[in-house]
Structure 1
Amino acid sequence: MSRPWRVAVVGGGIAGLAAAVRLRDRAPAGTEIIVYEQSGALGGKLRTGELAGQPVEFGAESFLMRDPAGGESAAVTLIRRLGLAERIVHPTVGQAALAVDGGLRPVPGGTLVGVPGDLERVATVAKPAADADRDGGRPLLGPDEDVAVGTLVRARLGDQVVDRLVDPMLGGVYAGRADDLSLVTTMPALARAARVEHTLTGAVRAAQAAAPRAPGAPVFGTLAGGLSTLVEAAATASGATVRLNAAVRELTPTAAGWRLTVGPTRDPELVEADAVVLALPARPAARLLAPVTPEVATTIGGLDYASVALVTLALPDPELPALSGFLVPATEGLLIKASTFFTTKWGHLARPDGIALVRASVGRYGDETSLHLADPDLVATVHRELSGVLGVALPAPLASHVQRWGGALPQYAPGHGDRVAAARTALRAAHPTLVLAGAGLDGVGIPVCVRSGETAAEEIIEALGGSGS
């Protein structure tokens, strides 16, 4: 291709921005990158706001420091690339609790997303089944098998381990239920071990041994100044033209690439591009794919999402335990499913005036009626439930904020990975310069989304004829 490339990135979340940075780093000099974002701000679920004069996350709170193999996560690598490594901070309080039986109990150590490698260590929270986890003489999973997390854990360890440990931990990440979520997608390391090991506890220990963590090494990090600094730095480093409030309504194949129809129906803008990265949630992506590849669109569009609300309170001198927060099993019957004590967990946010920031997450997949409450009612309910769990009357908040994320968290049913792989294979065969990225396909979490965007960029570079580096 003699002229410079033009690549359109549709979606300005962290996956799309990571794709744009990778394109800038690896595509030939002169490549034009345009990021189209339907909303008025970049970052997607990364959004740093302010409450009571203090920065606070209204979306994603942190990122994993390591990848599943034990190396540096894609988020940390990107942060280094952007010159933000010195801003990485870690929790000063790491111990979390579970709200069970009307009180708080420490989350047991030695588990993998709540699945125990040692049954004795979880006995204070959940009682395993009497005949738990006997060796059946064969691996737990077949070579290509995928099951719901809850199906496997209930069969091996019983209901309490699922309901009191695994379900709240998965719910804190996905707002979904263990009985619905794919083991391969949500817990890939455990799935790999389960194809070899004969017991679930053995599979947990094997998965943990395959990615050892140095004693004292931090698991999570965030950025001083907020995660929106990552968004801003990525947008700048990409050198992309950023178009906000710019909805891409149609994609049309052309002899040279793609035509994008952008903007309102009455006054559309037609843009030509050599390649397109679709870094969108599944359903908007499926709408654009439908006229191009209907079968791929049907597969991608079948993914369901959960909606959540994040309620943040600024409390004057509250009595809070020395915890990072707590998780709430659905069996407890509370509106909140998780809470973070921000100014306790993140020492760099501690205030000399004693004002504490506390955030609660509301909304579970399939049971989201609580999200119909008006903001003041949601704040009042969260405040009352926090007081009940903590066993103290919390002071009235000085300020509050409700952030609603409609259709925010993908729900990965068993077989999700195979369905996505087949859809990508079909799309690549038909249209190699149209590539998909994002949490709806590859999993939640900042590192996964970064890696998804970067992989999409590499596929675009290969389809257009190789890098310029």
Structure 2
Amino acid sequence: MRAETDGNPAGADGTSPRVVVVGGGVAGLTAALRLLDAGAAVTLLEASERLGGKLRTGDIGGVRVDLGAESMLARRPEAVALAREAGLAGALQPPATASAALWTRDALRPMPKGHVMGVPADPASLAGVLSEEGVARIAEDRTLPRTEVGEDIAVGEYVAARVGREVVDRLVEPLLGGVYAGNAYRISLRAAVPQLFAAAREHTSLTEGVRAIQARTAVADPRTDPVFMGIDGGVGRLPQAVADTVRARGGRIRTGTPVTGLARTPGGWRLTTGTPAAPEALDADAVVLAVPAPQAARLLAAELPAAAADLAEIEYASMALMTFAFRAGEAALPQGSGFLVPPVDGRTVKAATFAGRKWRWIAEQEPGLQIVRTSVGRHREEEMLGRDDAELLDLARRDLRTATGVAAEPVDAHVTRWDQGLPQYPVGHLARVARVRDQVAGARGLAVCGAAYDGVGIPACVASATEAARQVLAPRPEGDPASGSSGHAGE
């Protein structure tokens, strides 16, 4: 096996520490950037030939579109700040419209106002979305005894106990499904909707808790600027822009370089890359693992078996996007940015976005086309993804026709599959993450980051990577057994 030092000096003698980042998604690229800012010599290794992870653009009918995430939460500053730092300040663009609908009970109905992840403060806006019995059930919330949430509870379990299953099935499920592609009756309230978890501990009534959240938000953050932000040319531009910035600041990026092994050495870490027939070894003072949980588990199995076992327990959901280009004159879409679909209605698609209406930059490329994105796939309900592309496109078009009346033939269509793309946050997720981080913290010069830990959105991944970069370069207190002063690193 050939060992590669990458030409960088060791960090132990006061020179720049050598850090390897494993994973070239937005988390890994952010970690590389922050490490360079701190003076480290950085090499990023990406197994595939493409950077960006779940952020990707492509052409549909000659129109550039996002084939992964299409927007960033702007009320959290991390992702927008990263885009500006990477030279995309002038490309940031809010949605042209954000008025989504629910396709439920055989009609497109306006998304109710004044809710927190689907939980309403005022049931008056729910006519047509809920049955009369469902609306009446919400009023019982004020008369019920406190629902104990303990250390954690499923979103669906808590909300159903307070305001009834209809609120979960027709409001909470489609909203959570759009974020996690998961099941509200499994997803952790504490991890996925922490403000509701805090309200559940403070208030007996859920609806009172929602009103309190809204009141605090209005006082603490009275801004009227956009909640979400996109990028002209696609959010998929962000990873390449960050990669260009990493290279400009002296970082090295190697694609097509899977990491197959990770082992501690007296001075830090040794990573194994290449093929079994021709392996390479890369030595580093520190390592940041910015890969999905299953890959991190495999790499940590030998050195940190307890952390690896916890990581291996994190499940993922697969999904697919079916993107269509219709001639504008043949596709009279309803108003708004699209619609969500409650699973209880039994449709194929779980959401549709009228992308050409939502984003000005898409409409301006080709005004004669309408771009529509649809999605399928939920955790443990993914049998639909076993169908071939042609059948998925046919099923999605059938649902679009039923929901919107658009029966036109598309001029182009494309299926993008994200296998094992979204980590699930079940009850107990934060406790599992805490155990992993405790184990990793005991190993000098090692950190983990990405969507599997603190949130699946782009800002959460950026924040996770920034913290990981800080951790691997943080000095250890004198005498700390993880400081390496006793000999073998981390022991």
Common topology (TM > 0.5): yes
Q: CA deviation at 1:348?
A: 2.4
Q: Which amino acid in structure 2 is aligned with residue 41 of structure 1?
A: R
* SS of corresponding position for 2:95: coil
Alpha-carbon distance in structure 1 between the residues aligned to 2:187 and 2:401: 31
2:311 maps to 1:307: no
> Which residue is 1:77 aligned to?
81
Alpha-carbon distance in structure 2 between the residues aligned to 1:380 and 1:340: 17
> Which residue is 1:265 aligned to?
276
2:127 maps to 1:123: yes
Alpha-carbon distance in structure 1 between the residues aligned to 2:217 and 2:444: 34
* SS of corresponding position for 2:253: strand
Cα-to-partner distance string for 1:23-58 (whole Å, 9 max, x where unaligned): 112x22xx2111111111111000011111111000
2:161 maps to 1:155: yes
Alpha-carbon distance in structure 2 between the residues aligned to 1:186 and 1:394: 37
Moved more, 274-283 or 198-207: 198-207
1:304-383 to 2 correspondences below 5 Å: 304-317=315-328, 318-351=331-364, 353-383=367-397
Q: Which amino acid in structure 2 is aligned with residue 367 of structure 1?
A: E
- Check the 8 A contact 1:23/1:238 in 2, yes or no: no
2:26 maps to 1:48: no
1:186 aligned to which of 173, 188, 192:
192
* SS of corresponding position for 2:283: strand
Q: Say if 1:221 and 1:446 are closer, same or farther in 2 by CA, change over 3 A.
A: same
2:183 aligned to which of 156, 162, 177:
177
Q: Say if 1:117 and 1:304 are closer, same or farther in 2 by CA, change over 3 A.
A: same
Q: CA deviation at 1:134?
A: 2.1
Q: Which amino acid in structure 1 is aligned with residue 56 of structure 2?
A: R
Q: Which amino acid in structure 2 is aligned with residue 219 of structure 1?
A: V
Q: Which amino acid in structure 2 is aligned with residue 65 of structure 1?
A: A
2:411 maps to 1:398: yes
Q: Say if 1:433 and 1:129 are closer, same or farther in 2 by CA, change over 3 A.
A: farther
Alpha-carbon distance in structure 1 between the residues aligned to 2:177 and 2:197: 19
Q: Which amino acid in structure 2 is aligned with residue 288 of structure 1?
A: L
1:110 aligned to which of 114, 127, 132:
114
Moved more, 182-191 or 150-159: 182-191
Q: CA deviation at 1:121?
A: 2.4
2:260 maps to 1:252: no
* SS of corresponding position for 2:452: helix
TM-score, scaled to structure 1: 0.93
Q: Which amino acid in structure 2 is aligned with residue 39 of structure 1?
A: S
Q: CA deviation at 1:332?
A: 1.2
* SS of corresponding position for 1:336: coil
> Which residue is 2:481 aligned to?
none
Q: Which amino acid in structure 2 is aligned with residue 107 of structure 1?
A: M
TM-score, scaled to structure 2: 0.89
- Check the 8 A contact 1:146/1:414 in 2, yes or no: yes
Alpha-carbon distance in structure 1 between the residues aligned to 2:408 and 2:119: 36
2:41 maps to 1:32: yes
- Check the 8 A contact 1:134/1:199 in 2, yes or no: yes
2:441 maps to 1:437: no
Alpha-carbon distance in structure 1 between the residues aligned to 2:135 and 2:18: 57
Percent of counterpart pairs with the same letter?
Answer: 44
Q: CA deviation at 1:10?
A: 0.5
> Which residue is 2:483 aligned to?
none
* SS of corresponding position for 1:314: strand
* SS of corresponding position for 2:27: helix
Cα-to-partner distance string for 1:387-433 (whole Å, 9 max, x where unaligned): 0111x24211111111000000111111111111122112212x031
- Check the 8 A contact 2:56/2:237 in 1, yes or no: no
Q: Which amino acid in structure 2 is aligned with residue 148 of structure 1?
A: A
1:297 aligned to which of 286, 308, 316:
308
1:135-150 to 2 correspondences below 5 Å: 140-141=147-148, 145-150=151-156
- Check the 8 A contact 2:105/2:129 in 1, yes or no: no
2:72 maps to 1:63: yes
Q: CA deviation at 1:206?
A: 2.2
Q: Say if 1:463 and 1:287 are closer, same or farther in 2 by CA, change over 3 A.
A: farther
How many residue pairs match? The answer is: 453
- Check the 8 A contact 1:129/1:158 in 2, yes or no: no
> Which residue is 2:105 aligned to?
101
* SS of corresponding position for 1:414: coil
> Which residue is 2:427 aligned to?
414
- Check the 8 A contact 1:433/1:463 in 2, yes or no: no
Alpha-carbon distance in structure 2 between the residues aligned to 1:193 and 1:77: 30
* SS of corresponding position for 1:367: coil
Cα-to-partner distance string for 1:243-264 (whole Å, 9 max, x where unaligned): 1111100000000000000121
* SS of corresponding position for 1:195: helix
2:461 maps to 1:449: yes
> Which residue is 1:70 aligned to?
none
2:294 aligned to which of 275, 283, 292:
283
- Check the 8 A contact 2:264/2:303 in 1, yes or no: yes
* SS of corresponding position for 2:234: coil
2:470 aligned to which of 454, 458, 462:
458
- Structure 1: state its 5+ residue gaps: 68-72
Q: CA deviation at 1:330?
A: 0.7
* SS of corresponding position for 1:132: helix
Q: Say if 1:463 and 1:403 are closer, same or farther in 2 by CA, change over 3 A.
A: farther
Moved more, 440-449 or 185-194: 185-194
- Check the 8 A contact 1:48/1:56 in 2, yes or no: yes
Moved more, 73-82 or 441-450: 73-82
Larger Cα-atom Rg: 2
Alpha-carbon distance in structure 2 between the residues aligned to 1:248 and 1:211: 44
Q: CA deviation at 1:234?
A: 1.0
- Check the 8 A contact 1:185/1:417 in 2, yes or no: yes
1:201 aligned to which of 207, 214, 217:
207
Q: Which amino acid in structure 2 is aligned with residue 77 of structure 1?
A: A
Q: CA deviation at 1:313?
A: 0.4
